[in-house]
Chain A
Amino acid sequence: MKRCDRMSEEVKLEEISAADFFYRNKSLAGFDNPVRATYTIVRELVENALDAAEVPERPPQVEIVMMEYKSKIKSSLPWYKMAVADNGIGLDPDEIPRAFGRVFVSSKYRLIQSRGTFGLGGTMALLYGQITTNIPFKVISAKENEPVYEITMMIDIKKNEPVIIEKRILRGVSRASFTIVESFFEGNYPRAKKKIIDYLHQTAIVVPYANISFLDPEGNFYIFPRSTNRMPPRPKEALHHPKGVDLELLQRLLRSTRARTLKSFLIRHFQRVGEKTSIEVLKLANLPPGKKPSKLDKQEISSLFHALKSYNRFLPPDPSVLSPLGAGLFELGIRKELQPEFVKAVQRPPSVYGAHPFIIEAAVAYGGQIRLVGDIQLYRYANRIPLLYDVSSDISYQIIKKIDWNNYGIKSPEDEPVVFFVHVVSTKVPFKTVGKEFIANVPEVAKEVELGLRTCARDLRIFLSRKRRKETLRRRYKLFKMYYQIIADTLRDMLGERPPIEVLLNRLSANVGEENGGDECKEESA
């Protein structure tokens, strides 16, 4: 049962379903083959760690170690031992079994946006490890100035219950809080490697305030250092937006409310509804404002529902429920990981599709260290998680294909060092399929993506035209210098006198200099 009428900052844990279902439907959660599973395990545990570390609003630090595990059992695929550590607030020893030992135990099922796609990912990862190796996993965690607990456990799949194998205190007091999750699984790192590194690289862009490091089974050590300590504001829980409820939810709210009148019911349970709006909506529904909410008959509920749908003057949904990155942080992340010559990010104003608020953040980066790959380079994020599969099916990809880039100074995005970024932030990301790897063509979302990209592209056009103008001037100067050299030499041959061409060249270099400090040109004419 959801309780949306009260906002709370405390972590809520709610049970939704059983582990068994997902055991039988592994592919749904991204475990369809060992390669994909290896990538998904890294991803889910890293997302969990980042989520854990972001709660107390301190810059996250996530350390990942993966190494090959020599098992006694003969297996065609290698086994790996993986440990992920975060600097979050840590977990109470009593919370740990519930948090990690049951599928669908999650803090994600409320009207609040957070990282993670399934709300079960971490546990699924551990469950997969258990299924393939039959080795229990460990959670080591401590709160600030409290003991360090180590809990070794397994999941009873049938009962969807944690089974604690061992629980012990490793140290009396830990000065810092942390959590380490350690598990074993059968996988294929060499083939998953590229995706995993891509994932970490793209994650580092969208969490520029996190330190991420990864020691891989081949002995490579990857570090993605933070470039800022600034973190985006935490999302807040919020009331439903009146346009975002379905009939079922409305009925439930009406039944359970403590509000005495319809007028106060609307004000109390919905955002963007005040006294005046409430009366206007009820007028539209042809319902008396003083009526008791629980006394509405089917007909009346329906007309209230339709009034909520057709009333056009609600403010857009409260964006504080969403947690976008912000253009500044987005740009920082992109600069840090890609070192482009140009980057521009925008955050679009909040919008709604169906019942759900969303914000699009878009960015375009150009030049610098960006390499050509012969295809459109698009980094997609959904609630700060990189989406790495099915790029060409994504609405953003299709929009980029559709835009005439010539208008923005780019002949074709495939052949130029340009990278696009689209971040969809929503309480419900409009994924097209259960695989949750690409965004569907929802008109409201598509429009925002296009506007976001075009806004960035306008700045890119200005940047490129300045850059090209500068290049043209520089090329022109070089050309003039070469030809006037010949002219001067020739005239000296003919007349025995070399004309002072430097005066002319200086005039040109002054023009080149206007565009940028002009240092280089002074050198040239010296």
Chain B
Amino acid sequence: MEEMNVKKRALELARQIVGMIKKGEFPEIEYPPNSQKNIEFDEKIGYIFDPKAYSRIKGSRVKSLKTLAGVLYGLSRALDHLENGLTMTKRDFYYVHKVEKLKETLFPEDQRETDARIVLMELILGMPREAFSITSDPRGWIYGDIELIDKSGRVLRTDRVGEMGYSVPPRPENIKFKRIGVKAVIAIEKVGPAKNMIELGIPEERKIAIAILQGQASRSMRRFLRMLSDEGIPTAILTDLSPWSLRIAATVIYNSINSAHIPYLASPEARFIGILAKDVEEGFFRDYQFALEPLTQADLKAAIDNQFLPNLQNEFWQEENKWFLEEKKKAEIEIFKAMSPTARKLKDLFVRYLREKLDEHMGISI
């Protein structure tokens, strides 16, 4: 369905350009740029792409001529991939331009050039790159009592497809949920602690799902979390206590500026449950401050920059961020290991912490 849309939209654009050339006009493409003017932020929705200003790629200008040719070439390659059921990564797309006949024209200097073109194509078509076959290496797993039907029509239960669960595909839109048997989903930044929870049988016992982000949540993971959220499943976010992790949490909740033009990536209902500064100061980890890590230079710079990010402006985020600037310390989820030499103790701690936090922030008891 979406594939058809992409094709239709791309061919329409091609025909428009042919039409302009036939009239003896230099062709132009109009599109809404993802500039600040076109992006708004709303605490309840996240980033909103609301085009007011439009840009033109003019075929009469030396400057934008390359872009025009590049967009058309990129689209034709994408269509070719779509028609043949093939996907490509950004790196693949870069190599698609490293061909002999483009040597003096579209041959890219580095991947940033073609990456920027991909964003442009998204803006022109109004669709995410995954819709026109340019996907990322999949990153992110979901583990829990969730039954779904994947693109090929198979029914899967995400806690029965491997140690880490179901690997979220590049286009989660193709998935349909059949049955959801969990009370909440907990999105966890770090692979290690998340795997431990699975290995300790916590998802099964406590009727929760674990989403493993593995760092910054991928676009496909964010889309998938939003789909779960739309199904009414409460989403909790568990990260390190660090300047970077604030961004990870905020991106799950609000989406990011870079992908603001892609809809349905934000989960405004999701809640950031920890690790919070107060957990270290007076809460769960107050007796384990010796296990904190110092901030690196890069961490500190991130904290300074955090003061100006639009999606971190409300009081809560700024209070959290202030702690880093003042304490110059961070806590990692792995701190549970420092608190629990034995497996049994570890499980107790995880469960106690999750129970406390889900209750406090979301009114959910597990």
**B62 touching A479 by the CB < 8 A rule?**
yes
Partner of B17, one of A476, A480, A493, A499: A499
B131 to chain A: closest CB distance in Å? 17
With A494-B75, A495-B18, A501-B21 as given contacts, are A483 and B105 in contact (CB-CB < 8 Å)? yes
Q: Is the CB of B11 within 8 A of A494?
A: yes
Q: In chain A, residues 301-334, which have Cβ atoms closer than 8 Å to a Cβ of chain B? A: none
Asked whether any CB of chain A lies closer than 8 Å to the CB of B162, the reply is no
Q: Is the CB of B69 within 8 A of A497?
A: no
| Chain A residues within an 8 Å CB radius of B14 | 491, 494-495
Min Cβ gap A30→B in Å is: 57
A494/B10 in contact, CB under 8 A: yes
Interface residues of A in 483-500 (CB under 8 A from B): 483-484, 486-487, 490-491, 493-495, 497, 499-500
Query: By CB atoms of chain A within 10 A, which of B27, B72, B75 has the most?
Result: B72
> Nearest residue in B to A498 (C-beta to C-beta)?
B18
B66 at the interface (CB under 8 A from A): yes
* A499 & B62 in contact (Cβ 8 Å cutoff): no
B343 at the interface (CB under 8 A from A): no
* Contact among B21, B72, B76 for A504, CB-based, below 8 A: B21
Residue of A490, A494, A504 near B24 (CB, 8 A) is A504
Q: A490-B76, A504-B24 are in contact. Are A483 and B68 (CB under 8 A)?
A: yes
Query: Does chain A have a CB within 8 A of B22?
Result: yes
In the bound complex, what is the Cα–Cα distance between A487 and B26 (angstroms)? 12
CB–CB A499/B11 < 8 A: no
| Complex Cα–Cα for A158 and B59 (A) | 88
Bound CA span A504–B22, Å: 9
**What CA separation (Å) do A500 and B11 show in the bound complex?**
18
Given contacts A490-B76, A494-B11, A503-B24, contact A483 B69 (CB under 8 A): yes
Cβ proximity bits A450-493 to B, threshold 8 Å, 1 near / 0 not:
00000000000000000000000000100110111011001101
Task: Check: A447 CB closer than 8 A to any chain B CB.
Answer: no
> Are B18 and A491 in contact, with the CB atoms below 8 A?
yes
Interface residues of A in 145-169 (CB under 8 A from B): none
Whether, in the assembled complex, A507 has its beta carbon less than 8 Å from a beta carbon of chain B, the answer is yes
- Inter-chain contacts of A504 with B (CB < 8 A): 21, 24, 26, 59
Instruction: Provide the bound-state CA to CA distance between A504 and B58, in Å.
Output: 13
Known interface pairs A490-B73, A495-B15; A480-B65 also in contact (CB < 8 Å): yes
**B198, CB-defined interface residue at 8 Å:** no
CB distance from A509 to the nearest CB of B (A): 14
Name B1-45 residues within 8 Å CB distance of A: 10-11, 14-15, 17-18, 21-22, 24, 26-27
Contact of B69 among A476, A487, A494 (CB under 8 A): A487
CA distance A500 to B65 in the complex (A): 17
Q: Are B24 and A482 within 8 A (Cβ)?
A: no
Quick check: is B102 within 8 A (CB to CB) of the other chain? yes
Would you call B17 and A491 a contact (CB within 8 A)? yes
CA distance A476 to B27 in the complex (A): 17
Q: Is the CB of B106 within 8 A of A476?
A: no
Contact B11 A490 (CB under 8 A): no
User: Residues 60-85 of chain B: 1 if any A CB is under 8 Å from the residue's CB, otherwise 0?
Assistant: 00100110110011011001000000
Q: Give chain B interface residues in 86-122, CB to chain A under 8 Å.
A: 102, 104-106
- Taking CB atoms and an 8 Å cut-off, the chain A residues in 506-526 that contact chain B are 507
Instruction: Check A483–B65 contact: CB distance below 8 A.
Output: yes
Residues of A within 8 A of B18 (CB): 491, 495, 497, 499
From B10, B14, B24, B105, name the one whose CB has the most chain A CB atoms within 10 angstroms.
Answer: B14
**Which residues of the other chain, A, contact B79 by a CB distance below 8 angstroms?**
494
CA distance A493 to B78 in the complex (A): 12
- Check if B21 sits within 8 Å of A486, measured CB to CB: no
| Minimal Cβ-Cβ distance residue in A for B68 | A487
Chain A contacts with B in 12-55, Cβ cutoff 8 A: none
Complex-state Cα separation, A198 to B105, whole angstroms: 46
The CA of A495 and the CA of B13, in the complex, are separated in Å by 11
Closest residue of chain A to B67 (Cβ to Cβ) is A483
Closest CB-CB distance, B108 to chain A, in whole Å?
14
CB distance from A204 to the nearest CB of B (A): 44
What is the CB-to-nearest-CB distance from B77 to chain A, in angstroms, rounded to a whole number? 9
Bound complex: CA A407 to CA B73 (Å) = 43
- CA–CA, A325 to B102, complex, Å? 56
Q: How far is the CA of A487 from the CA of B24 in the complex (A)?
A: 15
| Known A-B contacts A482-B104, A507-B24; A495 and B11 likewise in contact (beta carbons under 8 Å) | yes
Point out the residues of chain B lying under 8 angstroms from A487, CB to CB: 17, 27, 59, 68-69, 72
With contacts A486-B106, A499-B22, A500-B21 taken as known, whether A493 is within 8 angstroms of B68 at the C-beta atoms is no
Q: How far is the CA of A248 from the CA of B104 in the complex (A)?
A: 77
Identify which of residues 209-242 in chain B touch chain A, using a CB-to-CB cut-off of 8 Å: none
Query: How far is A504 from B24 in the complex, measured between Cα atoms in Å?
Result: 6
Whether A499 and B73, one on each chain, are in contact in the complex, defined by CB atoms closer than 8 angstroms, is no
- Say yes or no: A490-B69 contact (C-beta < 8 A), given A479-B62, A482-B104: yes
B23 to chain A, nearest CB (A): 9
Which chain B residue shows the least CB distance to A472?
A: B62
As a 0/1 sequence over residues 92 to 103 of chain A, the CB contacts with chain B under 8 angstroms (1 = contact) are 000000000000
> Separation in Å of the B366 CB from the closest CB of chain A?
54
Residue of B nearest to A482 (CB): B105
A18 to chain B, nearest CB (A): 75
- CB-CB under 8 A from B76, the residues of chain A are 490, 493-494
Write the chain A residue with the least CB distance to B105: A482
Q: Are A503 and B62 in contact (CB under 8 A)?
A: no
Complex contact B72–A490 (CB within 8 A): yes
CB closest chain-B residue, reference A478? B104
Beyond A480-B65, A494-B79, whether A486 also contacts B102 by CB under 8 A is yes
> Looking across the interface, which residue of chain B has its beta carbon closest to that of A485?
B105
CA–CA, A497 and B76, complex, Å: 14
* Contact status B69-A486, CB under 8 Å: yes
Quick check: A500 and B22 within 8 Å, CB to CB?
Answer: yes
CB-defined contacts of A501 to chain B, threshold 8 Å? 21
Q: Min CB distance, A136 to chain B, in Å?
A: 72
Cα A93 to Cα B192 in complex, Å, equals: 116
Residues of A within 8 A of B59 (CB): 484, 487, 504
Q: Which residues of A contact B73 (CB under 8 A)?
A: 486, 490
Contact string against B for A residues 351-393, beta-carbon threshold 8 Å, 1 for contact and 0 otherwise? 0000000000000000000000000000000000000000000
Contacts of A503 in B (CB 8 A): 21, 24
**Which residue of the partner chain B has the closest CB to A480?**
B65
User: Assuming A483-B105, A486-B102, A490-B73, is B21 touching A499 (CB within 8 A)?
Assistant: yes
Q: List the 5 shortest-distance A-B pairs measured between CB atoms, nearest first.
A: A499-B21, A499-B18, A483-B69, A490-B72, A486-B69
26 A–B contacts, CB within 8 A, in A order: A479-B62, A480-B62, A482-B105, A483-B66, A483-B69, A483-B105, A484-B59, A486-B69, A486-B72, A486-B73, A486-B102, A486-B105, A487-B27, A487-B59, A487-B68, A487-B72, A491-B14, A491-B72, A494-B10, A494-B75, A495-B15, A499-B18, A501-B21, A503-B21, A504-B59, A507-B24
Besides the known contacts A486-B72, A487-B27, A487-B69, 18 further A-B residue pairs in the complex with CB atoms under 8 A apart = A476-B62, A480-B62, A482-B105, A483-B68, A486-B73, A486-B105, A486-B106, A487-B17, A491-B14, A491-B17, A494-B75, A495-B15, A497-B18, A499-B21, A500-B21, A503-B24, A504-B26, A507-B24
